[in-house]
Chains A and B, each alone.
Chain A
Amino acid sequence: MSAVMITRKVRKWEKLPGKNTFCCDGRVMMARQKGVFYLTLFLIVGTCALFFAFECPYLAVHLSPAIPVFAVLLFLFVIAMLLRTSFSDPGVLPRALPEEAMFIEMEIEAANGNVPTGQRAPPRIRNVQINNQIVKLKYCYTCKIFRPPRASHCSICDNCVDRFDHHCPWVGNCVGKRNYRYFYLFTLSLSMLTIYIFTFDIVHMVMREFLLFLIRRDTQAYYACTLELSTLKETPGTVLEVLVCFFTLWSVVGLTGFHTYLISLNQTTNEDIKGSWSGKNRVQNPYSHKNIIKNCCEVLCGPTYPSVLDRRGLMQEDSTVSAASAAPSSSSSISNAVPQTTNVVLRLQKTTAPLIPNEHTPDDAKPSIAASAEKSPSPREEHPPAPKVPPLASPETDVEDKTH
């Protein structure tokens, strides 16, 4: 019986798990809450607009036209860095497909051996030696992978991110391997811009007051040469700019300093907060080259890593009933797009996808999924009888510290 095939062009980003929002047909990737990002944008654009409106005409005439020109270039650089940080993929690690997850589960089972009933299984940790340092790789229950070193799971975006630094609400995205240098350049250039605007605001106010002072002196107006601050009435924007810059200075310049320190040590904010390499028990950072210049070069001038999350790839979606009613688990649809696997694999994965529950599975469905997995009419009949389904991965069945 032939089914009518209506293939709708669906891009992979529409089916990606995690709590990201995508724009421009998958080209732009951000976190869900973008409010603070809009605030950042508003503050920067607004303050610069005031600067160009009030300060620049005066300074261009009285000091030098290079001042507004440089300000424009700096402003454009800041915005470019901000948008690049916010819109790019921070280094998200795609979740394991069902077969990979199953393979890892089998390995864990084999490694753990027989756990007596009633006792909890040991925590899922892999030890790896890097530069004479033992690094523990933790298992991520959401993504069903052992996290690579320096990766961490962001609970806001619900993704594992490689070289996870932190989730920045100001930028509306995680900061990770791929966008850390843009983030750093953003904070650095923003510091420079803030200092620039602040300085020239002061210069502007002082100049106006000094001019007034000279005028008053020349016109023989012998009242006390107190600062009338009439400039404030002429350029009210200046006050606003000074206020914004003053508060921004403390936070942004401090942040830039902090990240400069981190870069020189080749550490991430996440590692710093957790005290991973704080030096007790002779634990040292195995990733550091022990040379400040080398560390800086690696972080800032290193290779530009590509995104491993294929957002704009096309997915084949046919509208046959069986496909539509198959488990909507996104892991099954991601497998469709792999061109090299045959269609047999496609079918296989669609029917086995419900085996491993993900965040979309309601809690009470989990035990029934385990039961139905054994009964499911999968084409794996000729496959040797399915081995005992390993206990479905969940944090409750394993002992672990809850630092996810």
Chain B
Amino acid sequence: TSEFHNLQELRHSASLETKVFIQRDYTEGTVCRFQTKFPSELDNRIERTLLEETVKTLNSYYVEAEKIGGQSYLEGCLACATAYIIFLCMETRYEKVLRKISGYIQEQNEKIYAPRGLLLTDPIERGMRVLEISIFEDQGSGTSSPSSSSMSSTGSAR
């Protein structure tokens, strides 16, 4: 995570251009799934296949989390038998998968998206409604124009 923060500080002089929101795909019901439709704003920023791959992997994680099968029944019945007190000490399967997802998104950001001036936001921070992709201006090589210096001054005022 420390590398990630350094990454953020590096891009701290980049200014946010716009944000794109990938919406939920409800065609399979209420299960959590994001659309694999490629937003046009990202046309010249990233290859379609890379984004599609990311979204598909995320979708498969969510499917795994929400799967109704032997393990979820066991978890449910056991928890019910203990009047759900067991949830105070035990992590649910969904929470485990969410941690995996958060790790995956961080890794994707470091490897693929940050080098292209993009940033993915974990859907859980947006109520699982959208996959937010922040698009940053293509960074110059460090020459400070007035706008970017005002950015960094507001940044350093933190």
Would you call A298 and B129 a contact (CB within 8 A)?
no
Chain B neighbourhood of A345, CB < 8 A = 16, 134
Judge whether A99 is part of the interface by a CB distance below 8 angstroms: yes
- Stretch of A36-44, A62-70, A128-136, A224-232 lying at the B interface: A128-136
> Which single residue of chain A is at the shortest CB-CB distance from B95?
A306
A87 to chain B, nearest CB (A): 12
Judge whether A259 is part of the interface by a CB distance below 8 angstroms: no
Would you call B67 and A148 a contact (CB within 8 A)?
no
Would you call B126 and A100 a contact (CB within 8 A)?
yes
Judge whether B115 is part of the interface by a CB distance below 8 angstroms: no
Chain B neighbourhood of A94, CB < 8 A = 126-127
Known A-B contacts A130-B26, A341-B134; the reply to A379 vs B147 at CB < 8 A is yes
Known A-B contacts A297-B68, A303-B65, A340-B8; the reply to A348 vs B157 at CB < 8 A is no
Chain A neighbourhood of B30, CB < 8 A = 148-150, 162-163, 287
A81–B17 Cα distance when bound, in Å, is 48
Bitwise, B113-135 to A at CB < 8 A (1) or not (0) is: 00000010110111111101010
Judge whether A343 is part of the interface by a CB distance below 8 angstroms: yes
Name B's A-contacting residues (CB within 8 A).
Answer: 8, 11-12, 14-21, 24, 26-30, 65-68, 72-73, 75-77, 79-80, 83-85, 87, 92-95, 98, 109, 119, 121-122, 124-130, 132, 134, 147, 150-151, 154-155, 157-158
* Chain A-chain B contacts (Cβ-Cβ < 8 Å), number: 136
Known A-B contacts A301-B77, A341-B121, A379-B150; the reply to A149 vs B84 at CB < 8 A is no
Identify which of B18, B68, B84, B132 contacts A298 (C-beta below 8 A): B68
Known A-B contacts A149-B26, A303-B94, A340-B8; the reply to A308 vs B15 at CB < 8 A is no
Which residues A272-293 have CB closer than 8 A to chain B? 286-287
> Which single residue of chain B is at the shortest CB-CB distance from A301?
B76
Known A-B contacts A77-B83, A100-B21, A381-B147; the reply to A302 vs B72 at CB < 8 A is yes
11 other contacts beyond A96-B129, A148-B24, with CB at 8 A cut-off?
A93-B127, A149-B30, A163-B30, A303-B66, A305-B94, A306-B92, A306-B98, A320-B157, A340-B8, A342-B11, A344-B154
Would you call A84 and B68 a contact (CB within 8 A)?
no
Please count how many residues in chain A sit with their CB below 8 Å of the partner chain's CB atoms.
58
Would you call B15 and A382 a contact (CB within 8 A)?
yes
Name A's B-contacting residues (CB within 8 A).
Answer: 2-3, 76-77, 80-81, 84, 93-94, 96-97, 99-100, 103-104, 128-131, 135, 137, 145, 148-150, 162-163, 182, 185, 286-287, 297-298, 300-306, 308-310, 318, 320, 338, 340-345, 347-348, 379, 381-383
Known A-B contacts A94-B127, A341-B134, A344-B155; the reply to A286 vs B29 at CB < 8 A is yes
Chain B neighbourhood of A182, CB < 8 A = 84
A128–B79 Cα distance when bound, in Å, is 35
A93–B18 Cα distance when bound, in Å, is 24
Would you call A84 and B150 a contact (CB within 8 A)?
no
Known A-B contacts A137-B26, A149-B30, A308-B128; the reply to A103 vs B21 at CB < 8 A is yes
Chain A neighbourhood of B154, CB < 8 A = 343-344, 347, 379
Would you call A342 and B8 a contact (CB within 8 A)?
yes
Would you call A308 and B26 a contact (CB within 8 A)?
no
Would you call A340 and B119 a contact (CB within 8 A)?
yes
A137–B127 Cα distance when bound, in Å, is 17
> Which single residue of chain A is at the shortest CB-CB distance from B145?
A382
> Which single residue of chain B is at the shortest CB-CB distance from A287?
B29
A348–B137 Cα distance when bound, in Å, is 15
Would you call A303 and B92 a contact (CB within 8 A)?
yes
| Interface hub of A76, A103, A162 (most chain B Cβ within 10 A) | A103
Chain A neighbourhood of B26, CB < 8 A = 128, 130, 135, 137, 148-149
Chain A neighbourhood of B122, CB < 8 A = 340
> Which single residue of chain A is at the shortest CB-CB distance from B87?
A304
Identify which of B12, B85, B87, B129 contacts A148 (C-beta below 8 A): B129
Would you call A3 and B157 a contact (CB within 8 A)?
yes
A320–B157 Cα distance when bound, in Å, is 9
A121 to chain B, nearest CB (A): 21
Chain A neighbourhood of B98, CB < 8 A = 306
> Which single residue of chain B is at the shortest CB-CB distance from A294?
B68
Identify which of B21, B76, B84, B125 contacts A302 (C-beta below 8 A): B76
